[in-house]
Chains A and B, each alone.
Chain A
């Protein structure tokens, strides 16, 4: 029976490894999951390093040519690829590098030796390989991780929410942050986190990326209504979405 369990491996690229930590934080849920899966490679949690995996859970964005090589190799081995967390799904925080001219980051980090470290603009992993399941968020939300893993095991598609955080936030009956003079990215951000940050007195930073079809014109009106500044909002937006933000940025500025 044991050898019929699908073999899972976890890999990290450009990221903080916090989403892998969330997997460990699954706690008893992880123990229950282990009834159905075998973990063969998970640097942060086990010492085993096998490469006969069926499902590869990939955390982090792509930022070097070596990353691309490694990622393509993982795709070749895995039957199923899961993008774990904001860096893997939308580029995440480290994509702020893209906002500066090329070379700046290398120089700041490595000084004169910067040119020895080849680097690329940060991109989410689906720019290079086909992704089968996405788990959004920074960090990923435990309930959603469990839900996606169950879908993988049941051979089901995971219906990623395609409605904004406002929907969940209203259901939680939070007082709207715009009414308190704060610009929150909830109206254009993909839900699924249960308005996690707003429930805890923070704004939404759009760590889950945009809904498929954000209303950029309308978002502009909202800022006008509440007397908020476009630049400030775009700055918040670029925290996580500097990769995907370009198009949004252009659309919102063109009027």
Chain B
């Protein structure tokens, strides 16, 4: 198959309906005034005109609560909790969330490999969709470089003039496109349209941060002590919304749950967050990160400093969810810009 193909909007929904033979289809669906990823029965439930879902699609490859192993005490035995992982199609993923998937990949594929994540991820076919206009004031995808496709998908859809241009990125992507006569080759004219669309995007999408990422990194290296953190920490209510909705937050806690026979049980993991009061508390009662100032700072450092040192990758995707969901108006773009401003002022001696 060609690397670029296209499908007319008239045939598009027919094709979406055909996807269920490749597994359950999870796609953005309307929920009250917002959207959520949900299994869809057919294309009528799909709504691609969305800003961002409440939770990122990470819930499908890193579920909120996930069984790890079954055990019994007498006789002492353990067994896999999940025997079979299902194939599924993750449909209509924005480029920011695709960046999130790539971040998770880096983390969970690091030694020791995370078998549950990999089992799910290997059975996932990802269909991306390109945003044509900036979504809202909360996103910072341009500064993070994620307003354009940068991989992490099996196919990418870009809507142009009554059609979707499809970029094919993998064998899995080819599998879901094959056998449909209405999926056509792209002409040179189509490719030119795609090029000019991307050029136009450079004009429409504006950088949200007042400095380049290199400067952001430098600022984070220098300003671990700053009034900006005091302000953010003071406003934080500690609800944990920011980390729950973050596409790159991957912390979890592991718990054992006994059956009522008090002999068999299940070990599971569930999402946990550095924003929780007890997160860094250890035996003996010592808390390594007391207070909301240090906890909020830590969250930012896990996006703009530590993962760059460790994986050479920013762990903010620019999706804007943390700012959108924050109860206390803590805004990621504002925080980063305030830090940059403070650093510039310090540098020139104000």
Residues of A within 8 A of B (CB): 29, 32-33, 35-36, 146-147, 150, 153-154, 162-164, 166-167, 170-171, 173-176, 178-180, 186-188, 211-215, 217-219, 221-222, 225
Contact (Cβ within 8 A) B260 A29:
yes
Contact (Cβ within 8 A) B36 A170:
no
Main secondary structure of the interface of A (DSSP, over half): helix
Contact with A along B231-244 (1 / 0, CB 8 A): 00011111111001
Pick from A154, A162, A218 the residue with the most CB of B within 10 Å.
A218
Q: Categorize the interface residue count of chain B.
A: 20 to 34
Closest chain A residue to B234 by CB distance? A217
6 A-B pairs with the lowest CB-CB distances in the bound complex, closest first: A166-B239, A218-B237, A170-B244, A32-B260, A171-B64, A167-B240
Pick from B65, B234, B238, B262 the residue with the most CB of A within 10 Å.
B238
Residue B210 lies at the interface, judged by CB distance under 8 Å to chain A: no
Residue B317 lies at the interface, judged by CB distance under 8 Å to chain A: no
Taking A36-B260, A215-B236 as known contacts, 6 extra A-B pairs with beta carbons closer than 8 A to each other, sorted by chain A number, are A36-B262, A164-B237, A215-B237, A215-B292, A218-B234, A221-B328
Closest chain B residue to A150 by CB distance? B258
* B263: min CB distance to chain A, Å: 10
Contact (Cβ within 8 A) A175 B237:
no
Residue B131 lies at the interface, judged by CB distance under 8 Å to chain A: no
- A175 touches which one: B32, B239, B277 (CB < 8 A)? B32
Q: Which residues of A contact B32 (CB under 8 A)?
A: 175, 180
Residues of B within 8 A of A (CB): 31-34, 36, 54-55, 64-65, 234-241, 244-245, 257-258, 260-262, 271, 273, 276-278, 292, 325, 327-329
Given contacts A186-B239, A218-B236, contact A173 B36 (CB under 8 A): yes
Contact (Cβ within 8 A) A170 B241:
yes
Given contacts A33-B260, A176-B325, A222-B328, contact A163 B240 (CB under 8 A): yes
* A97: min CB distance to chain B, Å: 30
Given contacts A211-B277, A218-B235, A221-B235, contact A166 B328 (CB under 8 A): no
Contact (Cβ within 8 A) B260 A215:
no
Closest chain A residue to B271 by CB distance? A171
Given contacts A171-B271, A215-B237, A217-B234, contact A166 B36 (CB under 8 A): no
Contact (Cβ within 8 A) B277 A162:
yes
In the assembled complex, the Cα of A211 lies from the Cα of B239 at a distance in Å of 10
- A167 touches which one: B65, B239, B292, B329 (CB < 8 A)? B239
10 contacts between A and B (CB under 8 A): A36-B260, A162-B277, A163-B278, A166-B239, A167-B239, A173-B55, A186-B239, A187-B239, A215-B238, A218-B235
Q: Which residues of A contact B33 (CB under 8 A)?
A: 175, 179-180
In the assembled complex, the Cα of A180 lies from the Cα of B33 at a distance in Å of 9
* B246: min CB distance to chain A, Å: 11
In the assembled complex, the Cα of A186 lies from the Cα of B238 at a distance in Å of 11
Contact (Cβ within 8 A) B244 A171:
yes
Q: Which residues of A contact B329 (CB under 8 A)?
A: 221, 225
Q: Which residues of B contact A166 (CB under 8 A)?
A: 239-241, 327
In the assembled complex, the Cα of A187 lies from the Cα of B240 at a distance in Å of 9
* A26: min CB distance to chain B, Å: 10
Pick from B31, B65, B277 the residue with the most CB of A within 10 Å.
B277
Contact (Cβ within 8 A) A178 B327:
yes
In the assembled complex, the Cα of A153 lies from the Cα of B262 at a distance in Å of 8
Contact (Cβ within 8 A) A219 B237:
yes
Q: Which residues of A contact B238 (CB under 8 A)?
A: 163-164, 211, 213-215, 218
In the assembled complex, the Cα of A57 lies from the Cα of B258 at a distance in Å of 21
Q: Which residues of A contact B31 (CB under 8 A)?
A: 173, 175
* A34: min CB distance to chain B, Å: 10
Closest chain A residue to B290 by CB distance? A213
Contact (Cβ within 8 A) B240 A212:
no
In the assembled complex, the Cα of A174 lies from the Cα of B36 at a distance in Å of 9
In the assembled complex, the Cα of A150 lies from the Cα of B36 at a distance in Å of 35
Q: Which residues of B contact A154 (CB under 8 A)?
A: 258, 262
In the assembled complex, the Cα of A214 lies from the Cα of B292 at a distance in Å of 11
Contact (Cβ within 8 A) A212 B277:
yes
Given contacts A218-B237, A225-B328, contact A146 B260 (CB under 8 A): yes
Contact (Cβ within 8 A) A167 B237:
no
Closest chain A residue to B38 by CB distance? A173
Q: Which residues of A contact B237 (CB under 8 A)?
A: 164, 187-188, 215, 218-219, 221-222
Contact (Cβ within 8 A) B260 A187:
no
Pick from B236, B240, B325 the residue with the most CB of A within 10 Å.
B240
* B152: min CB distance to chain A, Å: 23
Given contacts A171-B271, A176-B325, contact A164 B260 (CB under 8 A): no
* A185: min CB distance to chain B, Å: 11
In the assembled complex, the Cα of A212 lies from the Cα of B260 at a distance in Å of 30
